[in-house]
Amino acid sequence: MSTKHKLKIAVIGATGYTGLDLVYILSKHPKVKIVNLCATKNLNKNISFFDKRIKKKLPKTSSINKINWNDLDLVFLSLPNGEAQKIIKKTYYKFKNLKYIDLSADFRITNPKKYYKTYNIKHHAKELIKKSIYSISEFNKFNIQNYRIISNPGCYPTSIQLALNPLLKKKLINIKDITIDSKSGYSGAGKGLKNKFKHKNLFNSTFAYNVKNHRHMSEIDQEFYKITKNKVNYTLNPHLLPTFRGILSSIYVNTKGKVKAEKIRNELKRFYKKSKFIKILKLNSELGSGDVLNTNNCEISVCETRVKNKIIIFSAIDNLVKGASGQAVQNMNLLYKFSETLGLK
C-alpha cells in the first residue's frame, strides 16, 4: 500500500468507551480514512452524539451489514469477547488483503482450551489463532508485519509486562514470589459497569476483586512462560478505583544476588532507550497515573524498600489508551510501517 493513499478503516464497536477513544484518535490520524463506524444500537447517529471531543465529520453509526468489505484495508474490533472471532472467521479467507486489530481477548490466548476455561466461551476460529500475533507494541516492532490478525493485549497485562518482561529476559528478578497490586479506573469495566460490580458506593470507593482468578492472568501466564520457560509464581490483586481512567500497577519483586534497584532501573532504561512512549523515571520517584492520562505513554519508577533485595516497580498507563485504543493505533502504525508515534503525540 502506498503511503500516499489513506488506509480505509472500519471500527466495529465504535460507541463503547474503548471504541470512542479509538475513533477520537483515528479521526486525527493523517494516514486514515474512516469508512464505517459500526454499532448494535443508536444507529444512524453522528459519533459526536456519543463523544463531544470528536469534531471531524465522519460516517454515521451503522450496522455491520452496511460494510463493503472489499473497500476496506483494516478493521478494528472493539467488541465483547467471543464476537470478533466470528467476524474474522467469516471474512479472513474471502478478503485476503484485509487486516484486523482485535481489542477483545479472542486471539490473546493461544490454547483454545485455556481460552474456554478463562472466558467460558468456545473458540470458533481455532485455525486462525496461529495466524494471529499477540502484540504489545514495544515487543513486536518488526514481526508484526507478518500477520493479518493483531491481538491487542489487556490493560492490566500491558502495564505489568512493560515493567517486568525486560527483567525476566535478563533473569534479574526472582520468579518465585512476585506480588502485583493493580488499580484501575472504572472505565476498564466498560459501559456495563453496574452489571459487573454491585458493591455499595461504587463511584466513591476502592474495591478489590477477583484476587485468585482474574481473567487477565491467563494472558500474563502465557507471555511470562514464553520468556522464562518456567512457571512464574505471582499474585495479581486488582482494584477498581472511583476514577474514570488510568491504571497504576505496584509490583513487588525480589532481586537476585547482589542486584540493586539501580541496576533494575538501568536495564529498563537500556531496553526502552528507543521507545518513544516508555518513560523510565529517576530511581525512587513517586508515581501516579495523572501524567499519563489521555496519552499513549507508560511511566515506570523503580523504588528501593527497607527490606534487602525487595524493590517495588510502579507502572502507570491510561487503560483506554496505552491499555487499549492507543496501543491498537500504535500496532497499526507498525503494521503499515508508518512512524510509530503517528497520530499519537
- Give residue-wise pLDDT tens across range 289-304: 999 999 999 999 999 9
Alpha-carbon 150 to chain mean position? 11
Q: Compute the average pLDDT of residues 4-25.
A: 94
Distance between CA atoms of residues 273 and 344, nearest Å: 18
Find out if CATH 3.60.15.10 is the number for domain 7-153+323-335: no
Q: What is the pLDDT of residue 213?
A: 83
What pLDDT digit, counting tens, does each position of 149-182 carry? 999 999 999 999 999 999 999 999 999 999 999 9
* Strands 234-241 and 207-208, sheet pairing: antiparallel
Cβ contact 79:13 at 8 Å: yes
Locate 263 and state its grid cell: 541496576
Nearest to 328, CA basis, from 166, 135, 81: 135
Residue 313 pLDDT greater than 90, yes or no: yes
Architecture of domain 156-319: 2-Layer Sandwich (3.30)
Q: In whole angstroms, what is the distance from residue 335 CA to residue 337 CA?
A: 6
**In Å, how far from its chain's centre is CA 312?**
22
Instruction: Report whether pLDDT(196) > 70.
Output: no
What crossing angle do the helices spanning 216-228 and 155-169 adopt, rounded to 10°?
20
What residue spans in the chain does CATH classification 3.30.360.10 cover? 156-319
Look at residue 91 and tell me whether its pLDDT is greater than 90.
yes
First-to-last C-alpha distance (Å) of the chain = 24
Which residues pair with residue 301 across a beta bridge?
Answer: 314
What is the Cα–Cα distance from 136 to 297, expressed in whole angstroms?
13
pLDDT value for 194: 59
At residue 215, the pLDDT reads 87
Q: Is the pLDDT score of 2 beyond 70?
A: no
More confident residue, 199 or 149: 149
Can you give the pLDDT at residue 229? 96
Q: Is the pLDDT score of 185 beyond 50?
A: yes
Domain with CATH 3.40.50.720 in the chain: 7-153+323-335
Q: Which residues are catalytic?
A: 155
For residues 80-84, give the mean pLDDT.
96
Residue 113 has pLDDT above 50, yes or no: yes
Helical packing angle, 261-271 and 155-169, nearest 10°: 110
pLDDT for 203 equals 74
**CA pair distance 72, 9, nearest whole angstrom:** 6
Share of the chain above pLDDT 90, in %: 87
Q: Kindly tell me if the per-residue pLDDT of 188 is higher than 80.
A: no
For residues 114, 115, 121, 124, the Cα torsion angle rounded to the nearest 10 degrees is -110
Top mean-pLDDT range of 186-200, 204-218, 297-311: 297-311
State the pLDDT at residue 1: 44
**Residue 13 binned pLDDT confidence (cut-offs 50, 70, 90):** very high
| pLDDT of 265 over the 60 cut | yes
Minimum mean pLDDT range among 121-130, 191-200, 211-220, 258-267: 191-200
Average pLDDT, the chain: 94
Q: Which residues, 6+ apart, have CB-to-CB distance to 180 below 8 Å?
A: 160, 234, 235, 236, 237, 249, 250, 251, 252
